[in-house]
Structure 1
Amino acid sequence: MKRFYKQAGLGEDAGGLLVQLDGRTVMTPTKQPLTVPSKSLADAMVAEWDGQGDEVDMASMPMTGLGFAVIDHVAPNRDGIIAQIRGYAETELLCHFDDRDQALIARQNECWKPVLDWAAEGLKLPLKPTAGIMPVTQDPDVVSGYGKHLEGFDDWHLTAVSQAVGLTGSILLGLAMVTREIDADAAHQASLVDELYQAERWGSDEEAETRRANLRADLEMTRRFTDLLDEI
């Protein structure tokens, strides 16, 4: 759409900071005010709007887009979002080790074991690993525990967790990244450990490299969203 404003800025109400365009509050797609709890995050959204040219490109405004997602999607659907994320614990990526290639197993251990240990010792929610094609059934009480843990996140942090889990395919990597146990690069490496190992051995094509680069950028953006939210 065409740019219809001269300058972005901030207002304030009881709920937090309002992102505004020429003094008028930005509204989400469902017509809710874009109210932000963090000054750093609100400033980043203002910078996104100010940085637009003659055309407003929402794809170039990831912080604003995540803000819209918080208000329009996550806040009114918390229980469903939590259930969706919790489901990843039943098929956790980091629990499925190779059973033949010792070099790959070593790489998996290097990337995955610290996160599995953190889940067991830090969260007190241990997940059981398996190897090869052998299935594993996680303890229902542990899976339920992940749901209870997620209930402790506010809507903004829950959105970041949902984004990170969806990108990595792992509840452990998503939680670990959002809570700063690991950084975006470690989450990227761990989520693609098998693929990266095979690419090193046999080579990779341009399409796969582009997809991996896009994933890394999305993870870094999600981490930045969390850092801004927490004023870091």
Structure 2
Amino acid sequence: MSTDAFLARFGAPGASQPDPVAAAQTAMRNALPRRFYEEAAVLERDGLFHVALDGKTARTPARNPLAVTSRPAAEALAAEWQAQLEKIDPARMPLTRLVNSALDGVADQQKAVRAEIVRYAGSDALCYRAAEPDTLAERQGAIWNPIIAGVEAAIEACFVLAEGVMFAAQPAGTLEAVAARIAAIPAPLALAGAHNVMTLTGSTILMLALADGQLDPDAVWSAAHLDEDYQIAIWGQDEDAAERRVIRRQEFDAAALLLLQG
């Protein structure tokens, strides 16, 4: 579940937004507003970095200032706005959409968002392994086991692994340790990024590995798509699936930036 979809489920001020792929598709179908500004820049005000359109702070759909605590994140936001052409296309602004969700929704739903991340840890994708073929199972072990070990060392708890699709409950102490780590993620921006990284990878473990600097974004993305890439190597990739993956990667990159810089 994406952060936008999460907000739609649990409620947020103003209109809820669809998941990233649906948002992009909807934006492409709808009439787009004309670009009304010449320059998008970053201005530092009151300890925050504002996205300024011709010197005036941009606003979220709920009319909150489009302002963040990190200059790199603000510069990336401003770059999205500056890159717009004659019309403003939200499909080409994944970071802006995520920051809007963070400021307009996650800020008021922190407890529920954190709980959702912990819930994912209870059925984390990295804990479910293929029984066959041996080459896939071996690849999962080679790539995923060190990642899990690193996260286990960081939270001082152990995950239970399972074969196939049979559910394997995680120890209560492990989920408590995960919850304690999630509680330390700043809200709303880094928390929104954490939620979307988790959603797009199917893994709280991978999100924690990224947050703690164990892996960089490229390594996280690769680990999350290990099974998919194995199948692509055998059968090839569908064109539509490839396009959807490109969109997901853009959303992932925005979420990773917000997690690490928010």
With the length of structure 1 as denominator, give the TM-score of the two structures.
Answer: 0.89
2:94–2:250 CA contact under 8 A, matched in 1: no
- From the superposition, tell whether residues 67 and 202 of structure 1 become closer, same or farther in structure 2 (CA, over 3 Å): closer
* Structure 1 residue aligned with 2:67: 35
C-alpha deviation, 1:42, in angstroms: 1.5
1:76 maps to what in 2? 108
TM alignment of 1:132-147, pairs within 5 A = 132-147=164-179
User: Is 2:45 the counterpart of 1:13?
Assistant: yes
Residues 1:213 and 1:25: Cα distance change in structure 2 (over 3 Å): closer
| d(CA) in 2 for partners of 1:68, 1:197 | 35
Contact 1:111-1:189 at 8 Å conserved across structures: no
Greater RCO between the two (CA within 8 Å, min separation 6)?
2
Would the alpha carbon gap of residues 98 and 14 (structure 1) be closer, same or farther in structure 2, given more than 3 Å must change? Answer: same
Residue of 209, 224, 227 corresponding to 2:242? 209
Retained in 1: the 8 A contact 2:34–2:86? yes
Listed as ranges, the gaps of 5+ residues in structure 2 are 1-32
Q: Which deviates further from its counterpart, 29-38 or 17-26? A: 17-26
Backbone CA RMSD of aligned residues: 2.0
- With over 3 angstroms needed to count, the CA separation of the structure-2 counterparts of 1:8 and 1:128, relative to structure 1, is same
**C-alpha contact (below 8 Å) 2:35/2:86 kept by paired residues:** yes
Q: Taking structure 1 as reference, are residues 108 and 17 closer, same or farther at Cα in structure 2, changes over 3 Å only?
A: same
Partner of 2:225: 192
1:213 and 1:34 mapped to 2: Cα distance? 26
Contact between 2:73 and 2:257, CA under 8 Å: does it hold in 1? no
Give the superposition deviation at 1:154: 0.7
SS at 1:122's partner residue? helix
Amino acid at match of 1:119: V
1:120 alignment partner, one of 148, 152, 167: 152
What TM-score, normalized by structure 2, do the two folds share? 0.79
Report the CA distance between 1:195 and its aligned residue.
2.5
What letter matches 1:203 in structure 2?
G
Runs of 4+ more than 6 Å apart: none
How far apart, in 2, do the equivalents of 1:199 and 1:59 lie? 26
User: Secondary structure in 1 aligned to 2:170?
Assistant: coil
Residues 158 and 113 (structure 1 numbering): CA distance in 2 closer, same or farther, change over 3 Å? same
- Shift of residue 129, structure 1, vs aligned partner: 0.5
Query: Conserved in 1, the CA contact under 8 Å of 2:80 and 2:92?
Result: yes
Partner Cα distance (1:45, 1:133) in 2: 40
**Alpha-carbon offset, residue 90 of structure 1:** 0.9
Contact map agreement 2:190 2:258 (CA 8 A) in 1: no
Query: Which segments of 5 or more consecutive residues in structure 1 lack a partner in the other structure?
Result: none
Indicate the SS of the match to 2:109: helix
Distance in structure 2 (CA, Å) of the matches to 1:140 and 1:125: 10
Which residue in 1 is equivalent to 2:201? 168
